[in-house]
A and B are shown apart, each in its own frame.
Chain A
Amino acid sequence: MVEMWQVIRRWFDPRELRSVGSTPDYRFSLANERTFLAWLRTGLALVAGGLAAAQFLPPLPLAHLREVIAVALLLLGGTVAVRAVDHWARTERAIRLGEELPASRFPAVLALAVGLGALLLVVAVLVRAVGDR
């Protein structure tokens, strides 16, 4: 728990990040920053999807399914944003120390989750189309 707070404090303390290793070629830092921003926009897109699902999906046959979909997308978007800062800070640290860049399973997990969700919805749409006939 204490460790978690230290990690969070480090995200907000640029001096600490600058104190390790040596200043890299600025292009590496900027590329890292852009990767962070791309992840952030991925998170924002998920949040926008959740907000749109809550407002523009018609009520679904299953009670509150629309709200569940919306909240799931919102939480996924929030998680992506928090993970983006953590990954950015760890990458910056590794660049400054000349270490290997941090590996992450997160992109694969996110891709699987989104793919699975899309598949479920395709099945739901097909089931409904067959049921309506």
Chain B
Amino acid sequence: MTGPPDPGLQPERTRLAWRRTALALTVVMVLTVRLALTGDTAGTGDTARTGDTVGALLGGAAVLGWGAALRLCWRRATGTGPARAYGRALPLVALATAGFAGFGALLVVRGLG
């Protein structure tokens, strides 16, 4: 880092905020993969859809989306210096979140079928 130290530790706080966001994304990814693999079983132990190929593919897609979003979070979390360009990380991570929302809705509807 360049310049005088910031007593408010703003860059550090921002980096930690990116880490927390990455953690939240991971929780969402795990829940999405579980829903994709087991179908809508409501924790009843009914795993009728377990092993379903489409479910495995959907789960894989969720993991890929999570990986891409996590990469962006990690770049921002480990970047140095306050004078970073705005970049596309913010809209892209928000897009990933909206994507998980839409994907989850799709999986819930699929569980009804």
B31 pairs with A55, CB closer than 8 A = yes
A interface residues, how many (CB within 8 angstroms):
46
- Among B31, B32, B43, B88, point to the contact of A14 (Cβ < 8 A): B88
User: Shortest Cβ distance from A86 into chain B, in angstroms?
Assistant: 9
A47 pairs with B20, CB closer than 8 A = no
User: Shortest Cβ distance from A101 into chain B, in angstroms?
Assistant: 17
B86 pairs with A57, CB closer than 8 A = no
* Residue among A27, A38, A55, A64 facing the most chain B CB atoms (10 A cut-off): A55
Cα distance A83–B29 in the bound complex, in angstroms = 21
- Among A11, A33, A74, point to the contact of B101 (Cβ < 8 A): A74
Interface residues of A in 4-58 (CB under 8 A from B): 11-12, 14, 17-18, 26-27, 29-31, 33-34, 36-38, 40-41, 43-45, 47-48, 50-52, 54-58
Contacts A55-B41, A64-B112, A67-B108 given; does A85 touch B101 at CB 8 Å: no
A126 at the interface (CB under 8 A from B): no
The SS class assigned to the A binding surface is helix
Interface residues of B in 16-72 (CB under 8 A from A): 17-18, 20-21, 24-25, 27-28, 31-32, 34-35, 38, 40-44
A82 at the interface (CB under 8 A from B): yes
A88 pairs with B90, CB closer than 8 A = yes
User: Shortest Cβ distance from A23 into chain B, in angstroms?
Assistant: 9
B interface residues with partner A (beta carbon < 8 Å): 6, 8, 10-11, 13-14, 17-18, 20-21, 24-25, 27-28, 31-32, 34-35, 38, 40-44, 82-83, 85-88, 90-95, 97-98, 100-102, 104-105, 107-109, 111-112
